[in-house]
Structure 1
Amino acid sequence: MLHLRAVCPPEQTASALELLRAHAGTAHLIVHRGAAVAPEGDLIEADVAREAADEIVDALCALHLDRTGGITLEALDTALSDAADAAEEAAPGEGADAVVWQELLGRTGEESRWTATFQAFLAIACLLAATGVLTDSPVTVVGAMVVGPEFGPLAAIAVGAVLRRWDLVRRAATALAVGFPVSMVITGVVVLLGSVFGVFEPGTIADNHDVDFIYQVGAASFVVALLAGAAGMLAMTSAKSAALVGVFISVTTVPAAGYAMVAAVAGRWDRAGYSVLQLFVNLIGIVLAAAIVLILRRRKQRSGALLRPLSRG
């Protein structure tokens, strides 16, 4: 279940209440007359089944509550109520399979920005990957995969492209276009300084075969990126967010960026070039698969909406 709060101008309250009361996926409908201060109006609260949330939010937006008032959603971990059970039973589909598009837009929009925190995580991840390459440690490389924050902007690009939110696409693309080069430069400088002071020996990568998979780009790399992108978007659009960890440790994005800089410092430009290619192959594959998943889920959700009534009947 999701808890919905809507700040509503008094003249729209009756319409909003009628809409929510009529929908089978709504429970625990409450109205606080005159409770909203900024903007002024009434506060409407309701618990809605996740599979009905997107339809309900769209209907409230059709009343322009997103402009004249405000609509918020938050997840409910526990709801002990026969009315809530009945709403979930009456709402078509399964909650874990439902996509709440406004929630998805908000989530990916928040994770798509180039910020100091995003840059710090990406730089640390690239440094971890470089350390794993230098020490021939696949475990450290996997740790770098988990730390890397790049899936957020990649998912945002897919969501923005499918929903035609080009502002989201530009913001996410900027985060990647700035974040990766800056992180790679930082990594290169650290590796170079480490080699000067005898902390690292970049030339050892010639014998570090346990991490050769990072720069060995091929058809399998693209297939893995497609599968990871599909799994990642399924996790983001459902209640299976724990699966994202598996996505993080499936793709060779951050490791490729780290390996490229180690190889460059070592003078192995062939491996550096292949690593950069590996990075781009994975980035493109993830976005492509994520977009395909979104298109298919949106088409399925729209076709389902055409076949079911809005009313409780």
Structure 2
Amino acid sequence: MLHLRLITPARTTDDAVRLIEGTVGTTHLVVLPGAARDPSGDVVMCDVAREACDELLVGLSGLGIETDGSIAVENIDLSLSERADRAEDDAPGEGADAVLWAHLTDATHEESTLSWTYLAFLTIATMIAACGVVLDNAILIVGAMAVGPEFGPLAGICTALVQRAPRLALRSLTALLVGFAVAMTVTVGFAHFMDAVNLFSEAQLEAKRPNTGFVYAPDWFSFVVAVLAGAAGVLSLTSTKSGAMVGVAISVTTVPAAANAAVALGYRDVDQTWGSTEQLLLNLLGIILAGTTTLLVQKLFWARKRKTA
């Protein structure tokens, strides 16, 4: 269940209440006339089944509440109520499958912001991966994958394509391109420093690397894994299964490929630089294609679910 708290101008309160009462899956409606001070208005609260929330939010937004008042949505961790149980049973579909498009757009907007924190995480992840590829250490590669924040902008691009949100698309693409450019540039300098202190060497990079050689040898398996990870990542964002994101983070080779390209560029190894770049682009393409397709399928599924409800 989700909890909605609205601040509504007095002129729209009755419309909002009627909309809530007419939405299957809502309960625990509370109206506090004149309770809001900033902005002034009425406070309306209710609980709603997750699978019914997106349609309700669309209707409330159509009343202009988000412009003149506010709409806040909170997750209810525990609700001991037979009314709530009946509301969830009456709502069409399953809560775990429901997509809150407003929440998804807001979340990806935040995750795809080009900030110092985002750049720091991506740069640190790329440098960790650089150590992993030079030392042929799979554990460091996995750690770098987990640290990298690049899935946020990728999810933002997918969401922007489905929701036709050009600003989100531009923000996400900027974060992705600038982020990797900065991370790889810093990693080239990091590789030169490590070489100067005899911790990296060209011989290590050129040696056979059974554990990490895949990062500069793209193949169809790389694309297949990226597609599967992209679908899983988007499903994790749109559902309540957020724990799956850890598995998604360590299943694609975006950061390791960028790191290997940066180190190889520092040593002027054209073959590894190009191979790693192909691996990076292949993974990014697979994730975006799969993520966008997954969102389109979910949108179509819920549109049909509403028509048959």
Provide the C-alpha distance between the structure 1 equivalents of 2:189 and 2:35, rounded to a whole number of angstroms. 57
**Cα drift, residue 37 of structure 1:** 1.7
**Cα drift, residue 266 of structure 1:** 2.6
Provide the C-alpha distance between the structure 1 equivalents of 2:110 and 2:7, rounded to a whole number of angstroms. 22
Provide the C-alpha distance between the structure 2 equivalents of 1:183 and 1:9, rounded to a whole number of angstroms. 48
Provide the C-alpha distance between the structure 2 equivalents of 1:216 and 1:27, rounded to a whole number of angstroms. 56
Q: Percent identity?
A: 45
**Where does 1:160-179 land on structure 2 (aligned, <5 Å)?**
160-179=160-179
Q: Which aligned runs of 4 or more in structure 1 are off by greater than 6 angstroms?
A: none
**Where does 1:48-197 land on structure 2 (aligned, <5 Å)?**
48-197=48-197
Correspondence for 2:28: 28
Secondary structure at 2:184 match in 1 = helix
Provide the C-alpha distance between the structure 1 equivalents of 2:49 and 2:305, rounded to a whole number of angstroms. 16
AA aligned to 2:227 is: L
AA aligned to 2:31 is: V
Secondary structure at 1:92 match in 2 = coil
Equivalent residues of 1:129, 1:254 under 8 A apart: yes
Cα RMSD of the aligned pairs, angstroms, is: 1.0
**Cα drift, residue 199 of structure 1:** 2.3
Map Cα deviations across residues 223-282 of structure 1 (whole Å, 9 max, x no partner). 111111011111111111111111111111000001111112233210111101111111
Provide the C-alpha distance between the structure 1 equivalents of 2:139 and 2:199, rounded to a whole number of angstroms. 20
Map Cα deviations across residues 114-136 of structure 1 (whole Å, 9 max, x no partner). 00000000000000100111111
Equivalent residues of 1:2, 1:50 under 8 A apart: yes
Equivalent residues of 1:257, 1:275 under 8 A apart: yes
Task: Specify every segment of 5 or more residues in structure 2 that has no aligned partner in the other structure, as ranges.
Answer: none
TM-score (norm 1): 0.96
**Cα drift, residue 14 of structure 1:** 1.0
Provide the C-alpha distance between the structure 2 equivalents of 1:245 and 1:180, rounded to a whole number of angstroms. 20
Task: Specify every segment of 5 or more residues in structure 1 that has no aligned partner in the other structure, as ranges.
Answer: 309-313
Equivalent residues of 1:192, 1:265 under 8 A apart: yes
Map Cα deviations across residues 16-75 of structure 1 (whole Å, 9 max, x no partner). 111112222111111121122222111111111000000111111121112121111111
Map Cα deviations across residues 66-86 of structure 1 (whole Å, 9 max, x no partner). 212111111111111111111
AA aligned to 1:142 is: V
AA aligned to 1:153 is: P
Provide the C-alpha distance between the structure 1 equivalents of 2:50 and 2:202, rounded to a whole number of angstroms. 52
Equivalent residues of 1:158, 1:291 under 8 A apart: yes
Which shifted more, 257-266 or 173-182?
257-266
**Cα drift, residue 196 of structure 1:** 1.3
Correspondence for 2:307: 306
TM-score (norm 2): 0.97
